[in-house]
Amino acid sequence: MTSFRRLSQGGRIDRGRPLNFTFNGGKRQGFAGDTLASALLAANDIVVGRSFKYHRPRGVMGAGLEEPNALFTTGKGGTEEPNAIGPALELRDGLAARSQNAWPSPRFDLMAVNSLASPLFASGFYYKTFIGPFQKSWMFYEPFIRRAAGLGKTSYAADDVRHETRNAFCDVLVVGAGPAGLAAALAAARSGVSVVLAEQDFELGGQLLSGADAALEAWRAETVAALQAAENVRLLPRAVVQGIYDGNHAIISVGGTALESLRARSIIYAAGAVERPLVFENNDRPGVMLASALRSLANRFALVPSQRAVLLTNNDSAYEAAFDLAAHGVAVTVADLRREISGALMSRAAGQGIVVFPESGIAEVIAKPDVRAVKLSGRHAVTIECDVLGMSGGWSPLVHLTAHGGIKPRYDEAIAAFVPGAFASGHFAAGACNGVFGSRAAIASGDAAARAALGHLGRAKLPAAATLPEGEDLAYAITPVWNATQGSKGKAFVDFQNDVTAKDVAQAHDEGYSNIEHLKRYTTLGMGTDQGKTSNINALAIMAGLRGVGIGDVGTTTFRPPFTPLTVGAIAGRSVGHHFRPTRRSPLHDWHQKNGATFIEAGLWKRAWYYDWAGKTPQEAYVKEMELVRHNVGLSDVSTLGKIDVQGRDAGEFLNRVYVNGFAKLPVGKARYGVMLNDDGLVLDDGTTSRISETQYYLTTTTAQAGEVMSWLEFLAQCHWPELDVHLASLTDEWGGMSLAGPKAREALALALPGVDLSNEGLPYMGVKDITFEGVPVRLLRLSFSGELGYEIHCPANYTEALWEHLLKAAAPLGIKPYGLESLASLRIEKGHVAGLELDHRNSLDDLGLGKMASATKPFVGDVLRQREDMMAPERWSLVGLELLEAGKTLRGGSILFAANDEIKGHGRGYITSVTWSVELQRFIALGLYQGGLKHEGEEIICAFPLKNEQVKARIVSPMFIDSKGTRLHA
């Protein structure tokens, strides 16, 4: 029966600091220095979860991040987190951990019935269900599978954890603080360069923490102390380097709550290696563990199997576990799959009373559900009662990070493992992750890597080679045995987390999925939270055997970040909620807020949507606000418009080139509506541009395209037309603007700005006038978006609110009120002005009814490609007005347009872009694009809105619904 006992002394736990935690609601106690896994094993919680597909009982298998089984959900509500890795999770007081994939408890799990239905979960189950004759069965299985699937669950509650993102730089990044990493960091630190040492564990030392060699421990303690004292070294424990990106850019998750973006001038990989399991029947039973995990538990956590351990191995490293367990009084038997075992190992084993059986495998694991005994195969077919079965299939260097740059790992026959293929410039590797096994060898290689990195950094004087701790490393010899199955009953797992067996790999091969990437998708092998850290190499070696090719020829699947699971919260950092993106506020924002505006988001802007004086809902309010402008006078915030100051001797020529219509001859004091195209001849943006002086223009853009237009104009001016003397400056944030509109607009403005000549002579339609009001520069532009008599009043942002308040106060006797974005946008529909919804970068000038604006006498951007054959086609979808013909119904934006006799199906002949209730016509009107456009004026068509299953009749009319002669504008 699997059980462990805590040693009364030794290990790296602090017996003076007990920590209380819960497991599935039950109270437990561990010590500072424990991991969740070691504390659970100390409490003899052997079955800690169930497997993903078959719901087989599972226990702790590994000693670190490679763990495939012992995953837990921790916390609750806003702090709940699934898939915490038990052997890598530092125990803390108050930790609440729960098993996954198990209900009601890991010992008794109702879903274990899946084991009986295991054909359902064989390789390619999903594929076979989705395609071919089985397709229909998916409908039947889906709800069942959906309920059962999913690795861990998380809360829907908002994340309570505060996450941070930070940026940093260093000369040398060392990944991993095992012997190689410590040595590399120390050598780099002594030369004075800035060093970051990132280590996933909460203690520094890597494999050294799990060893029992006094000389190595002394070296570790001394090195860590020296690094802690060095001012040029930043030690990052609990920090996982999740990915390496272009430009020596490392993304590191620190403590689970911070994400560090680190740029290093050079990188030394010292990530170490993980031990591989062996593939034999029932190798997943609780109590079957990696040999290295048993060694780590004994030396680091003072936790040993109660009485007897059996170890199964194909290499020498398992003997280190055997020696250390035996030293703590555990009876140890080693079943070695190899024939040849070194004499030194045999005699040392004999000296410690360890029984070694060469050429032995495991015939049977007797478990209920945890290991009770094992029956050996081979020449010594004995049955041995034991607490645990340790296994070692050799070591796999962690080549993940070195492969992130796209360099494929290379198979090294001598150590039966993949090692980094090559390194980018400035990248180096040391220790086990580079295939250098043994702690002293790792120290030497780390030291050498640091010197290479210093050379790369241009350090002329390199430090002398480090002195190694006394003693000798145990040699590492391996005879790979990839498939140790004995043909007995039970499943032999390759991938424990995804429940993929040796048989599944063979089946995938038989069905033609023998490419390693296909194998992964077909069987799910190597997926999940551990991404196959313990399973990939065994799987591809078994596949190589089936295909009869070398392991190196099969190759690995692609390694991608992140190296371990990290929370979405850590990736998002502080960019959540309000901080998800910047908020842009008009200079009038505070006024709107104090005066009953409801806001709407328009891009990054918050704009005043409607005001409560006009109604409680937008539907109610916008109509009232429209009536205000049509019959009286209103004031609206247009500060969000793009505003660009264009200056220079060639400013006129520049604008002549970018606008389809002419600007060079625009008189000073005049404004003109202009449209610009992209190079491809499609409409980019529109706006009004006025001439302030011979060499200065004031250009406005739509709110949505302000940034794009600015960048485009800068591109042309800087890169393509450097010969033009033109300078551009964005005034979008520096200046605010307001639109005063309505039949009483002139009266209102006169009340606010007494003494300014506002007559048709003094400021005619499309006239511009700069004045100074109480010492503040104010720009008056007589423009109209609404179709009424109108003025835009622009001034520096700091004074916009004061001027706005002054206008409202001065014109109060007329009944002036503010109006919002909804009515602003609706008024322009009545007038037939196009806006963002029509200017969607897919329409030509002619599509929008603006073809006549294009100059025939000067070239302009887009003039050649706008004459492409398809863009000149007569039946293009182009701008029309629509009037609803059915009282009591409504038009909807996005409706699909059909001719009266069309079948209502497909994409139709166009669609509605903008809709409003017309206060002037007392009916719903719309702008839209319709095949052939106004050639169909007067026709009755159908507007279909399939989402609501609506069809209404409308008539095609001119898009200019009001004042087609422009009498109001010139009033």
Partner 1 sequence: MRIPCPHCGERDVNEFRYGGDATKQRPAHGDKDFQTWNAYVFEFDNPKGPHEEFWQHTLGCRQWFRLKRNTATNQILGGGQ
- Residue ranges binding partner 1 (CB under 8 A): 167, 246-247, 249, 263, 405, 424, 657, 679-680, 707, 711, 714-715, 718-721, 859, 864-865, 867-868
In whole angstroms, give the CA distance from residue 161 to residue 700. Answer: 44
User: Which is closer to partner 1, CB of 214 or CB of 864?
Assistant: 864
User: Which is closer to partner 1, CB of 665 or CB of 868?
Assistant: 868
User: Which is closer to partner 1, CB of 304 or CB of 713?
Assistant: 713
Q: Is the peptide bond before 562 cis (omega within 30 degrees of 0)?
A: yes
In whole angstroms, give the CA distance from residue 334 to residue 313. Answer: 8
User: Which is closer to partner 1, CB of 864 or CB of 904?
Assistant: 864
Rounded least distance, CB 641 to partner 1, Å:
19
Rounded least distance, CB 866 to partner 1, Å:
10
Rounded least distance, CB 857 to partner 1, Å:
12
In whole angstroms, give the CA distance from residue 482 to residue 542. Answer: 6
Rounded least distance, CB 720 to partner 1, Å:
5
- Alpha carbon separation from 310 to 241, 307, 325, 361, 378 (Å, rounded): 35, 10, 11, 11, 15
285 contact partners, CB below 8 Å, separation of at least 6: 57, 59, 365, 367, 369, 370, 371, 389
CA quadruple 352, 353, 357, 362: dihedral positive or negative?
negative
Which helix (H) or strand (E) segment holds residue 589: the answer is: helix 589-594
Rounded least distance, CB 657 to partner 1, Å:
6
Contact (CB, 8 A) for 526 and 535:
yes
Q: Does residue 276 sit in helix, strand or coil?
A: coil
Q: Does residue 642 sit in helix, strand or coil?
A: strand
Rounded least distance, CB 717 to partner 1, Å:
9
User: Which is closer to partner 1, CB of 167 or CB of 772?
Assistant: 167
In whole angstroms, give the CA distance from residue 106 to residue 47. Answer: 6
User: Which is closer to partner 1, CB of 599 or CB of 721?
Assistant: 721
Rounded least distance, CB 425 to partner 1, Å:
9
Rounded least distance, CB 265 to partner 1, Å:
12
In whole angstroms, give the CA distance from residue 64 to residue 62. Answer: 6
- Alpha carbon separation from 292 to 295, 329, 395, 924 (Å, rounded): 5, 18, 10, 76
In whole angstroms, give the CA distance from residue 927 to residue 960. Answer: 10
DSSP string, 746-807: HHHHHHHSTT---STTTS-TTBEEEEEETTEEEEEE---SSSSSEEEEEEEHHHHHHHHHHH
Rounded least distance, CB 308 to partner 1, Å:
55
Rounded least distance, CB 167 to partner 1, Å:
8
Question: Which phi and psi angles does 890 have, rounded to 5°?
Answer: -140, 155
Q: Does residue 679 sit in helix, strand or coil?
A: coil
Which helix (H) or strand (E) segment holds residue 730: the answer is: strand 727-730
Rounded least distance, CB 675 to partner 1, Å:
18
User: Which is closer to partner 1, CB of 251 or CB of 621?
Assistant: 251
Selection from 90, 74, 75, 562 nearest residue 301 by Cα = 90
User: Which is closer to partner 1, CB of 837 or CB of 865?
Assistant: 865
With tokens 């429209």, the residue in question is 626
- Alpha helices (H) in 173-290, listed in sequence order: 179-190, 214-229
711 contact partners, CB below 8 Å, separation of at least 6: none
User: Which is closer to partner 1, CB of 378 or CB of 707?
Assistant: 707
User: Which is closer to partner 1, CB of 140 or CB of 715?
Assistant: 715
User: Which is closer to partner 1, CB of 730 or CB of 739?
Assistant: 730
User: Which is closer to partner 1, CB of 505 or CB of 717?
Assistant: 717
* φ/ψ bin of 429: left (φ > 0), alpha (ψ from -120 to 50), beta (otherwise): beta
User: Which is closer to partner 1, CB of 265 or CB of 624?
Assistant: 265
714 contact partners, CB below 8 Å, separation of at least 6: 728
In whole angstroms, give the CA distance from residue 298 to residue 127. Answer: 45
Contact (CB, 8 A) for 297 and 62:
no
User: Which is closer to partner 1, CB of 79 or CB of 575?
Assistant: 575
User: Which is closer to partner 1, CB of 283 or CB of 701?
Assistant: 701
Measured between its terminal Cα atoms, the distance across the chain in Å is: 99
Q: What DSSP designation does 896 have?
A: E
User: Which is closer to partner 1, CB of 600 or CB of 865?
Assistant: 865
Rounded least distance, CB 54 to partner 1, Å:
43
User: Which is closer to partner 1, CB of 574 or CB of 948?
Assistant: 574
Contact (CB, 8 A) for 934 and 848:
no
In whole angstroms, give the CA distance from residue 444 to residue 953. Answer: 84
Rounded least distance, CB 423 to partner 1, Å:
13
Rounded least distance, CB 682 to partner 1, Å:
11
Rounded least distance, CB 185 to partner 1, Å:
24
Rounded least distance, CB 818 to partner 1, Å:
33
User: Which is closer to partner 1, CB of 231 or CB of 723?
Assistant: 723
Rounded least distance, CB 725 to partner 1, Å:
15
Which tokens go with 837? 């919804």
Per the document, the length of the chain is 971
Q: Does residue 31 sit in helix, strand or coil?
A: strand
- Alpha helices (H) in 832-924, listed in sequence order: none
* φ/ψ bin of 552: left (φ > 0), alpha (ψ from -120 to 50), beta (otherwise): alpha
Which helix (H) or strand (E) segment holds residue 345: the answer is: helix 343-351
Rounded least distance, CB 55 to partner 1, Å:
45
Selection from 253, 880, 219, 874 nearest residue 561 by Cα = 253
In whole angstroms, give the CA distance from residue 611 to residue 626. Answer: 12
Contact (CB, 8 A) for 815 and 632:
yes
